[in-house]
Amino acid sequence: MLCPYCNTEDSRVIDSRAVDDGRAIRRRRGCNNCGKRFTTFETVEQLPLMVVKHDGTRQIFDRNKLLNGLIRACDKREKSLESIMILAHDIEQSIRREYEQDVTSKDIGEMTLKKLKNFDQVAYIRFASVYRKFSDINSFRHELDVLLADE
């Protein structure tokens, strides 16, 4: 496996464990060249998942877009990149279990919000403010009321 830090192919597996009810293997690796550690996931190759956008266009699901949105929502929160990556993987696997080939961007956003609610409530509000396009303070207040009512 290629090291994401120094691009050397010489790495070793430090720890492996099954995740997502045995549907994937999470491997913690160490680079023999630079000594840094990184995480990889091994999963069964699946058919491409198509995202149907609001305007009806379709594009291939991109896990990196989901991950980038989660990273922005968790900015300056005490969440490790590894835990955010695991969350993104969990969301993707939930989508793949629930949808065969087509999923709407709305469904992806709602599933992400559902998972973020238990992960980090501040990140949930940040993601919701962008996803739901809050236009004023009342939009925030309404979402906070919904969040607090679920506790």
pLDDT in tens, 79-100: 999 999 999 999 998 998 899 8
Per-residue pLDDT for 151 more than 80? no
Cα 46 from Cα 28, distance rounded (Å): 23
What value does the mean pLDDT take over residues 98-121? 93
More confident residue, 112 or 24: 112
**Which residues does 96 contact at the CB level (< 8 Å), separation at least 6?**
46, 49
What is the largest distance, in Å, between two alpha-carbon atoms of the chain?
54
**Calpha distance 116→3 (Å, rounded):** 29
**What percentage of the chain carries pLDDT values higher than 90?**
71
| 86/93 Cα distance (integer angstroms) | 10
- What pLDDT was estimated at residue 138? 87
Contact, 40 vs 19, CB < 8 A?
Answer: no
Q: Is the pTM of this model over 0.75?
A: no
Backbone angles phi, psi at 103, to 5 degrees: -140, 140
Q: According to the model, what pLDDT value does residue 73 have?
A: 96
